[in-house]
Amino acid sequence: MQFQLSEEQLMIQQAARDFAQQELKPGVIERDEHQKFPVEQVRKLGELGFLGMMVSEEFGGSGLDAVSYVLVMEELSKIDASASVVVSVNNSLVCYGLEAFGSAEQKEKYLKPLASGEIIGAFCLSEPEAGSDATSQHTTAEDKGDYYLLNGTKNWITNGSTASVYLVIAQTDPSLKHRGINAFIVEKGMEGFTIGPKENKMGIRGSDTHSLMFNDVKVPKENRIGENGFGFKFAMKTLEGGRIGIAAQALGIAAGAYELALAYAQERKSFGKPISDHQAIAFKLADMATKIEAARMLVYKAAWLKDQGQSYTLAGSMAKLYASKVAMEVTVEAVQVHGGYGFVKEYHVERLMRDAKITQIYEGTSEIQQMVISREILD
């Protein structure tokens, strides 16, 4: 494994860093305060090719590797996790799922505008009673011959009202259990498809999170992804890559908080010298830096394995489990380093602390990652 980034990867990293500082940072506190979706910023992310980074160029993507993708996710997340989660969902879940498993017609119709950033997508798995349990889908898709009749509710959907294309997991044949699950492409505006109110969240408040309701929505047969009964495998394969994106987001949140704490500690003085000269603070910073670097290695390794075409199930789950834990620990310490100022919104660290918590929840909680890891190491 190469520990040195290529010139192209360094350029992509710098481009993401510049974008985060110049485009995301101005107004990020206001967007968080008022739960404003970063419409203009997401449009520019699409123009930069960040919304379809790993999609091949023939389908409108940038054709880049997974390591480049996590570099971008890390830099964006240092400043605004509400914007980076749009990049994560569109790349890891929506575009990946369509390119890997969609038909030629589906790729032409849906993947191209998604990869180019013309539109954004949403991945719809979680439900009120099932959470992210793909085996327990209460949303149903009744086979009516040349179309499916979709009924049910999906919860906690990122890009819920701003997406144009939705990948929906639903149960077609309950008697077959997980083998009777399918994945469908649903378009905004289909009759019977309604979007609930925006969730008032603790963190990633600029992210567009809604419940979706499907009431006798007619989904054309050609909008089913893969063979009949492929939905469960589709969800599992797609979520596997999604963990890398969330791990990179957690890493970025932690790194952003650390950078702010380090700068503050070197500027803030007490007892006649910078607080970074006091061991109590210096040791905190040392622990934060070490944890972040360990998380970075796990995240980069998972992305590298994906690029090599090797199994990354274990690495991806380890990266998400550890990076999300580090995100919480580091952001809490960053607030502590800032003291009373850490409790004030203009210093950013309290927002990063609130944003960090979601990385332990979505795309599978820490306990789910522990289950995946234990299964892999004990198999």
What residues are annotated to the active site? 363
- Phi, psi of 144, rounded to the nearest 5 degrees: -115, 20
346 vs 18, 185, 343, 352, CA distance in Å? 20, 41, 9, 12
Q: Using CB atoms within 10 Å of the CB of residue 218, give its burial: 0 to 12 exposed, 13 to 18 middle, 19+ buried.
A: middle
Q: Which residues pair with residue 273 across a beta bridge?
A: 270
Q: How far apart are CA 118 and CA 349, in angstroms?
A: 33
CB 248 within 8 A of CB 299: yes
Asked whether 66 and 306 are in contact (CB, 8 A), the reply is: yes
Q: Cα separation of 159 and 86, whole Å?
A: 7
| Cα(222)–Cα(141) distance, integer angstroms | 14
Beta-carbon contacts of 174 under 8 Å, excluding residues fewer than 6 positions away, are 180
User: Are residues 202 and 156 in contact, defined by beta-carbon separation less than 8 angstroms?
Assistant: no
Residues near 41 by Cβ (< 8 Å), separated by ≥ 6? Answer: 23, 24, 80, 83
CA distance 151 to 218: 9
